Amino acid sequence: MSTHFGGRTLARSQALQLLFQAEANSRAVLEVLDGEFALSEGPLDDYARRLALGADEVRPDLDAVISMRARGWKLSRLNAVDRNLLRLALYEIFNVDEVDIPVTIDECVELAKAYGTDESSRFVNGVLGRVADDLEAGVDVVAAAREAARAAAEKDAEAEKDIEAEPGAAEPESEPAETEEAE
């Protein structure tokens, strides 16, 4: 799909591309920027750099928020474009005061239409809408997501302990003992 963006929409598109490349290559965005990277349109906008570096820096918190609000979806199962678009949008919502939340959501929905699947725009809109509702209700979304992640990790650890405590679960299989025949 050939799409032409301008202004901050182009910057968001570039930031998405940087986040995507970093994730695909298991690298930090700074490492991607220090090497060779590809952009559909360039040169790299300063705002794109700010968004990509910022989102990458707080990725664990952003991922916790996504995990908390992407109902029925594990982070690892999300389409890479959707996952990185959500990271980008959440970073902008939480850290860029001069951009209104509805603008960020609308822009990311448009990017989802351009780069994602047929379902991406609805999915991204739904997750970001739930976060916006939480913020409007005065919820500290990042703190709530951290707590939810901590509780989930504790639950997983307890489940692991339960599995290990099952009778015979931790005992290694042994071969039958050889017996000497009586003469």
pLDDT at 181 (0 to 100): 46
Q: Which residues contact 64 (CB under 8 A, 6 or more apart)?
A: 142, 145, 146, 148, 149
pLDDT at 178: 47
- Asked, as a colleague might, if the bond just before 172 is cis with ω within 30 of 0, I would say no
Q: Which amino acid is at 105?
A: I
Residue type at 7?
Answer: G
pTM: 0.80
Q: Where are the alpha helices (DSSP H) in 2-79?
A: 7-24, 29-34, 46-57, 59-69
What pLDDT does 32 receive?
Answer: 87
As a whole number of angstroms, the distance between CA 129 and CA 173 comes to: 52
Q: What is the pLDDT of residue 74?
A: 85
**Per-domain boundaries in the chain:** 7-155
Pick out the chain residues at pLDDT < 50. 1-2, 170-172, 174-183
Q: Please give the CATH superfamily to which domain 7-155 belongs.
A: NusB-like (1.10.940.10)
Q: Two tokens at 56?
A: 């990458």
For residues 84 and 53, give the distance between their C-alpha atoms in angstroms, rounded to a whole number: 12
> pLDDT tens for residues 81-130?
999 999 999 999 999 999 999 999 999 999 999 999 999 999 999 999 99
Residue 8 has a pLDDT of 85
Strand runs labelled E in 92-138: none
CA atoms within 13 A on the CB side of 139: 16
CA distances from 97 to 46, 62, 92, 100, 152 (A): 17, 17, 8, 7, 31
3-state secondary structure of 62: helix
